[in-house]
Chain A
Amino acid sequence: MNYEPVLTARIGVVDPACLHDYEAHGGFQALARAVELGPDRTVAQVEAAKLLGRGGAAFPAGIKWRAVHNAEGPKFVVANADESEPGTFKDRILMEKDPYALIEAVILAGYATGAGKGFIYVRGEYPRAYQRLRQAVARCYEAGYLGKDILGSGHEFHLELRRGAGAYICGEETALFESIEGKRGYPRLKPPFPTEAGLFGRPTLINNVESLVSVLPIVLRGPDWFNSIGPANSPGPKLYSLSGRVRKPGLVEAPMGVTLRELIEAHGGGVSGSGEFQAALVGGAAGTFLGPDQLDTPLDFHSLAKMGAALGSGAVIVFDTSVDMMQVLERIAAFFAHESCGKCYPCQLGTMRQRDIIQRMVAGQGRPGDLQLLRDIGQTMRDASICGLGQTASSAILSAFELQLT
């Protein structure tokens, strides 16, 4: 518990509107350090830190940074700030309370990869985060952090903000590119991967807000510091969005691998409602449920993957014993049926059938083979869907039946 927050250190301390305040609290020192190191060694720091992407897929950030750094010609950096995974609010708080940190991180990423232009794609339902960023971008242009010859590096970098418009699927990286290009948010087939052909067909680095912000202390304090926190194969500080039936819901920064029990007891003030823990949904609607026997699971990418679960976005929604879990499953099923973009049939049809089956179970009209049917549908969606939405649309529901929560 004597962990000192790093990613959230400025939150509630600085005035989010004030560039000078940001500078007075360590702002733009990471960028200055990166310019000292040069692009190649900056990328090497990210590689050595073994930073895993915080947006859900846990892909090693260093691999993407290196690939874009090595690519020729015009390229882009994109911050994925579309945060729409149910139960997740960490990126919003970072952007609202410390907007300059994200902007500094995007500029740094542009410098390290050699990209001349960056985008921050902000969820449409986050007007406050968008306004704060907009004001901060204008101040950064005035102060010379954006534009020509940034910090005397000779590098020119421009940053544009974009707003989403209410589509969960646009958080998927290739759908997000389509959306910036002015189209419907339909995911693209991969490969090619964004590092080869991303936004406007150009090599593109896309990272989650928290991933990018994590790079600032990596560059300032060094990869060894980062690796000293949390488990060796999943290191660093992590943001958890804690909500549901806990006494103190909110944003928690903890070393990666904090246990579910610690998160609920020490940070969340314990279970509310009946006071007795029933389950937690980890990773949002695309995540999995953990039951009472799993309270001591470390919440890091590898520990959860080993048990067939996933940390995803780091959302943790807690349920006490008074909650009717079938109602929760009904919401999740309805969510995916609504958000499936319809580009591929396994997901379009699968999410609808899944919803229909759960609805009839809730109505007390479940049929004998229903659970097996849900498993089959889940399997088909996992194997045959184009993107992560369809591939994970059954995971929470099936895990709930597995744990016999219903």
Chain B
Amino acid sequence: MTSDQTLALEPDQERALQTLMRRYRGRGQSALLPMLHEVQAITGWVDEPTARAVAHTLGIPEIEVHNVLTFYTLFYTEPVGKRVIRVCNDIACVLAGNGELIQRLAEELGVDPETGGTSADSRFTLELHPCLGHCERAPFLMLDEEPMGPVAPDQVPDLLGGVS
């Protein structure tokens, strides 16, 4: 139902996931989005066995998990980089000259500036995003959960280099 690939988890990730599953046991469909957010915080993306385990844990049909995973853009059914950069590509950020910023990010990561993508070393995924609700700080991006803006193109190497 999702990618053919499966997650390769470290033992501590496995343990965290097991603890999470116990906490969500039997909580039903309304707990699906909160649970998927928490799963992804551990695993980065959701593979098919994990999606099945989520369905089983909550006590809901697998198809419901699939429906939700494929509808919401913040959930991933394919591998993503260790860190996700969401760069805003909407009106105010375009007006603030985000083109150069996106160009620079894409160059450094070796991905297509039109579509974004994951760097060859899997450290970063670059995504072009509709308005991120920080237009007063354009051009704006989010590095995982960290808001940054305005960001100048020559800050990009530091931004990528400073990330472990």
Checking B30, B73, B95, B147 against A181 with a beta-carbon cut-off of 8 angstroms, the contacting residue is B30
Checking B36, B67, B133, B147 against A83 with a beta-carbon cut-off of 8 angstroms, the contacting residue is B133
A244–B133 CB distance below 8 A: no
A187 at the interface (CB under 8 A from B): no
Checking B37, B92, B132 against A125 with a beta-carbon cut-off of 8 angstroms, the contacting residue is B132
Q: Which residues of the partner chain A approach B94 to less than 8 Å between Cβ atoms?
A: 327-328, 331
Compute how far the CA of A166 lies from the CA of B138 in the bound complex, rounded to whole angstroms: 20
A78 at the interface (CB under 8 A from B): no
Q: Which residues of the partner chain A approach B67 to less than 8 Å between Cβ atoms?
A: 183-184
Q: From residue A118, how far is it (CB to closest CB) to chain B in Å?
A: 14
A86–B145 CB distance below 8 A: no
Compute how far the CA of A285 lies from the CA of B92 in the bound complex, rounded to whole angstroms: 12
Checking B71, B129, B132, B134 against A167 with a beta-carbon cut-off of 8 angstroms, the contacting residue is B71
Q: Which residue of A lies closest to B142 (CB)?
A: A125
B29–A244 CB distance below 8 A: no
B30–A182 CB distance below 8 A: yes
- B: residues with CB less than 8 A from A are 28-34, 36-37, 60, 64, 67-68, 71-75, 86, 89-92, 94-95, 129-136, 138, 142, 145, 147
Q: Which residues of the partner chain B approach A353 to less than 8 Å between Cβ atoms?
A: none
A-B residue pairs, 3 tightest by C-beta: A165-B72, A166-B73, A182-B32
With A127-B145, A243-B135 in contact, is A168–B91 under 8 Å at CB?
no
Stretch at the interface among A47-55, A87-95, A293-301, A375-383: A87-95
A162 at the interface (CB under 8 A from B): yes
Q: Which residue of A lies closest to B130 (CB)?
A: A335
Q: From residue A234, how far is it (CB to closest CB) to chain B in Å?
A: 24
Checking B33, B64, B136 against A243 with a beta-carbon cut-off of 8 angstroms, the contacting residue is B136
Q: From residue A31, how far is it (CB to closest CB) to chain B in Å?
A: 27
B95–A323 CB distance below 8 A: yes
A163–B33 CB distance below 8 A: yes
Checking A182, A251, A327 against B31 with a beta-carbon cut-off of 8 angstroms, the contacting residue is A182
Which has the most chain A C-beta neighbours within 10 Å: B36, B75, B132, B142? Answer: B132
